[in-house]
Every structure is written in C-alpha cells, then in structure tokens.
Amino acid sequence: MNNTFRDCPGCGSYREFVQLHAEPERCPDVPSGRCPEWFCTACGSSLLLDLVPALGSRHGHTREAA
C-alpha cells in the first residue's frame, strides 16, 4: 500500500492518505496503472491526484481532417 501526506478537505488538517490496491502501479481503472485515488486514513475522504485532462472533443464537436 502506498502513502502520502496531504491537506484533507474532510478533516481540515494535514493527514496521511493511502491507496487501497495491494500492488502499486496495478490500478485497473487507468491505462498507466498509476491509481489517482487516495483515501484519508483518519476520515475516509478521497482525493484524485495526478490527473491530466484528456484531449478530445468539447461539447460534442469533433475536428474534421482537412
């Protein structure tokens, strides 16, 4: 289990956050395997860290090739 310390929005203080996957870098939810979900060990609040927005269409519009 991985851990890091962050400001917790639920507790309002600096707390330990962990990932719940048994093996690091083995998250089935993302192609890279690096899980963005972290949970506060004190209150259970979650944070999504290290997310990069995906490039793609906005508002249902796509770009057509010229």
Place 28 in a pLDDT band, splitting at 50, 70 and 90.
Answer: confident
pLDDT tens column, 39-64: 999 999 999 887 666 666 555 555 55
How high is the pLDDT of residue 33? 78
Place 29 in a pLDDT band, splitting at 50, 70 and 90.
Answer: confident
Q: pTM to 2 decimals?
A: 0.65
**Read out DSSP for 1-66?**
--EEEEE-TTTSSEEEEE---SSTT--TTSTT----EEEETTT--EEE-S--PPP--BTTB-PPP-
